[in-house]
């Protein structure tokens, strides 16, 4: 009887360890842990070109992550990309005239939205729009422009 009790305890530990490993894979290794993002307030921003931005891309201010891209849509009238940003609730004092640009982390890295604080006395609130935006830099376009201007100069 004692033997079987010990066996049961060891099997219990085994199953618990296996599930813990799976849990660690879920939370620490995969992106599942990020789904528990706190719900903040949503602001939108229109970009001419978003490059490789995707939903759930990071939004940062001075390098600190302040939110995530919640949704990306195409405006049917202006043909701009409408990006909805979920800003974490503790960052509730972002000035109204903040500008948003799309940057690339490193030369080939992920794309993210960088916010530069403005000087307005009023702060962004739920449903507001960031009007000052700068589209993503598309490397191929720049190379194309450079070659074109080079050819023109000669």
Partner 1 sequence: MIDFIRTLGRWALGTMERLGRATLLLVQILTGIPELMMRFSLVVQQLFYVGVLSVLIILVSGLFVGMVLGLQGYNTLVDFGAEESLGVLVSLSLVRELGPVVSALLFAGRAGSALTAEIGLMKSTEQLSGMEMMAVDPVRRVIAPRFLAGLISMPLLAAMFSAVGILGAFLVGHSLLGVDDGAFWSQMQAKTDWYEDILNGVIKSIVFGFVVTWIALFEGYDAVPTSEGVGRSTTRTVVHSAFAILGLDFVLTALMFGE
Binding site residues, partner 1, CB under 8 A: 4, 7-8, 10-11, 13-15, 17-19, 21-22, 24-26, 28-34, 110
Q: Kindly tell me which of 35 and 79 has the beta carbon lying closer to partner 1.
A: 35
Give least dist CB 67 to partner 1, A.
16
Give least dist CB 43 to partner 1, A.
23
Tokens 């992920």, located at residue: 110
Instruction: Give 28's DSSP letter.
Output: I
Q: Kindly tell me which of 105 and 132 has the beta carbon lying closer to partner 1.
A: 105
Give least dist CB 38 to partner 1, A.
17
Give least dist CB 103 to partner 1, A.
16
Q: Kindly tell me which of 25 and 117 has the beta carbon lying closer to partner 1.
A: 25
**Degrees, nearest 5: CA angle 15-10-28:** 35
The Cα-based distances of 11 to 1, 22, 34, 81, 103 in angstroms read 15, 17, 32, 54, 51
Of 141, 137, 103, which Cα lies nearest the Cα of 149? Answer: 141
């Amino acid at each position: 009887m004692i033997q079987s009790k010990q066996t049961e305890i060891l099997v219990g530990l085994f199953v618990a360890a296996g599930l813990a490993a799976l849990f660690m894979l879920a939370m620490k290794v995969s992106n599942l842990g990020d789904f528990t993002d706190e719900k903040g307030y949503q602001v939108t921003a229109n970009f001419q070109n978003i490059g490789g931005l995707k939903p759930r891309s990071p939004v940062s201010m001075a390098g600190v992550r302040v939110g995530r891209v919640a949704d990306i849509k195409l405006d049917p009238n202006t043909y701009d990309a409408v990006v909805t940003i979920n800003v974490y609730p503790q960052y509730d004092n972002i000035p109204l005239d903040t500008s948003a640009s799309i940057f690339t982390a490193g030369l080939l890295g992920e794309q993210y939205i960088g916010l530069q604080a403005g000087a307005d006395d009023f702060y962004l609130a739920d449903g507001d729009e960031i009007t000052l935006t700068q589209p993503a830099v598309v490397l191929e376009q720049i190379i194309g422009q450079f070659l074109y201007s080079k050819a023109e100069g000669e």
